[in-house]
Structure 1
Amino acid sequence: MTDYGLRTPTDRREQVELPRAYAYLCEDLLVCRSEVNRTKERLARFAASSNLELAAVFVGQDTRSTAGFGRLFEAVVRDEVKVVLVPSVLHLMVLGSPRRIKEYFEAATEARIITMP
């Protein structure tokens, strides 16, 4: 039998790459380590239900430190990621008003920040 390189519908589905997303959360806003882990799991479930591949979760240690947020920013620019998931906009208050940070981040990176419902 000659193979003409035809693919079955199943083969095509397996080859579809989901858009990559990163996530960010601020540990200080969560009560304990188990809540941090549950939030990471919620982010992963939300990404999967939104047809996104959650490639990395960046964690800020506290609301006064910009290190985790800076790593996220650099990675989004470097890897050209177009979607960033956050549990709520409050997790963006590392540099000031969460709404303004969201607007600045989206303008600077061309990525869209999506909050979980």
Structure 2
Amino acid sequence: MSGRTGRIAAYAVLAVLGAVVALAGALVQAGWFPLGLLLALGGAVALFYGGARLTRTKVGAAAPAGGWMLVVLLSTSSRPEGDFLFGTGLGTYVFLLGGMFAAVMCATLAPSGHLLPDGATER
């Protein structure tokens, strides 16, 4: 497997993991408030920053953030039957806005450049 193919596969896996973390976070943040909210946001931050560190690119943070955001935005809409996943409340808004803020911060702080064998970075 070439480096480019492996990196694209890693981005795809990170996006799927972002979707899973979003769904789990949506369920946990309201169920165990306030510790569930901290757990959900901590998991999202760990995935976003871990993806950036793993791939050493900003896209490594953006890929799971994109999967996370897609699932969260799709989960906020109500269904024709009147069912919805997110209720109205402070915890829900902190989860939504906090996750988006974390995604932007992790992508901004992501390491750039590739590590050389001696530990130096290449720009």
For the aligned pair, the TM-score class normalised by the smaller chain equals 0.3 to 0.5
- Superposition TM-score, scaled by structure 2 size: 0.35
Higher-helix-fraction structure:
2
Structure 1 or 2, whichever has the larger Rg, is 1
